[in-house]
Amino acid sequence: MATKDISVGVIGASGYTGSDLIRMLISHPKIDLKYASANNHAGQKISEIYPYLHGKIDLVLEKWEDINWSTVDVIFSCLPHGIFHEIFQKLPDKNIIIDLSADFRLSSAEDYSYWYSFEHKSIEKINQFAYGLTELNRPKIRKSKFIACPGCYPTATLLSLYPLIAEDLIDQSHITIDAKSGISGAGRSPKRDLLFSEISESFRPYSVIGHRHIPEIEQQLMLYSKNDIKINFIPHLVPMNRGELVTSHVRLNKDIDLNEVIEVYGSNYKNDDFINIMSNGNVPNTINVRGTNNCDIAVIPGRVDQTLIVISAIDNLVKGSSGQAIQNMNLIHGWPEELGLSKISIFP
């Protein structure tokens, strides 16, 4: 077997995000997955937690405190929000660290405390993390050791709205986002309202008054526009395992032909192989991005004059989380961004 270029370790390997990350890492041609931790399952093989990995990986899960993290090049953290910001400073500072939680996405510790109900334990490190939305933040990601991967809703929303905001094409005071996600986005911890009999045949909004991803979306939109922006954001839970569809309703602030708008999208994403701008009446469908790191986007004229409907679809566990983390790792190491990532959907 050829020697791999780098070694990596995963903290929080027993959740859906950790599982999908491991699934992709063990097929990555450049990396050696050396450690995986899950404190509640320490001593068990990964394949005992996830039987689909039987025969593919023999790693035994360990407590994160028992691992010598200085022996790996990259650390991925798949812990839920509210945990990694406490243990971050106990890790070696020489590592590249890619955090998939929300702990370092917001630039304000006060905002983090307000939206996540935790006092941030690594305030002085917040602004050392680059926001890991690869297509929109490559220069900072390339030169950063610490990456905060975006949430799934922000990823789908920001990729779909960025060209309109950056080119000042829409009224930034009237943005409404209707978002829908599969239940894997809620994590693997057992919750009564996610039981099969509770979620099956059900389709419902949640966190209607204020979802935790709102400040993250607004923070990034304001960076692109240099203006204050507030959004209406309504997430929904759909009874499917994975996938995310985001529909944004916006109002144009100038008279512009739809073909010109599509050209703006094509120009902004011309070098982004994971972004697919759809045309000829085609619209995004979650099944067409399932298992991929792709984001499909369609721009449609609204029936009301001077309005647009922008629809985007991603796999919430891949482009919305683990796949994007690998894309960032590839970028930092100067490898092709698509290395180890699929562009072909699992169908049906």
Domain extents in the chain: 6-150+320-332, 153-316
At residue 280, the pLDDT reads: 84
Pairing mode of beta strands 204-205, 232-238: antiparallel
At residue 37, the pLDDT reads: 96
Q: Which of 78, 149, 152, 295 is catalytic?
A: 152
- For residues 27 and 229, give the distance between their C-alpha atoms in angstroms, rounded to a whole number: 41
* pTM for this entry: 0.94
Report the candidate in 272, 236, 237 with the shortest Cα–Cα distance to residue 162. 272
CATH of region 6-150+320-332? 3.40.50.720
Angle between helices 109-116 and 214-225 (to 10 degrees): 150
At residue 209, the pLDDT reads: 86
Tokens of 66: 């028992």
Average pLDDT, the chain: 93
- pLDDT tens for 3-42 read 679 999 999 999 989 999 999 999 999 999 999 999 999 9
Report the candidate in 37, 48, 91, 101 with the shortest Cα–Cα distance to residue 69. 91
Tell me which residues of the chain have a pLDDT lower than 50: 1
Task: Look up 149 and say whether it is catalytic.
Answer: no
Pairing mode of beta strands 31-37, 275-277: unpaired
For the segment(s) 153-316, the CATH number from 1.10.3720.10, 3.30.360.10, 3.40.1010.20, 3.40.640.10 is 3.30.360.10
The strand pairing partners of 32, in sequence order, are 7
10 Å Cβ neighbour count for 133?
22
Per DSSP, 61 falls in state P
Report the candidate in 5, 330, 20, 73 with the shortest Cα–Cα distance to residue 187. 20
In percent, the amount of the chain with pLDDT more than 90 equals 85
- For residues 181 and 198, give the distance between their C-alpha atoms in angstroms, rounded to a whole number: 16
At residue 4, the pLDDT reads: 79
SS3 139: helix
Contact of 67 with 33, CB cutoff 8 Å: no
- For residues 163 and 173, give the distance between their C-alpha atoms in angstroms, rounded to a whole number: 16
Residue 77, CA distances (Å) to 21, 88, 102 in order: 10, 9, 11
At residue 1, the pLDDT reads: 41
Which position has the token pair 């005992």?
48
Tokens of 58: 């023999």
Fold agreement between 6-150+320-332 and 153-316: no
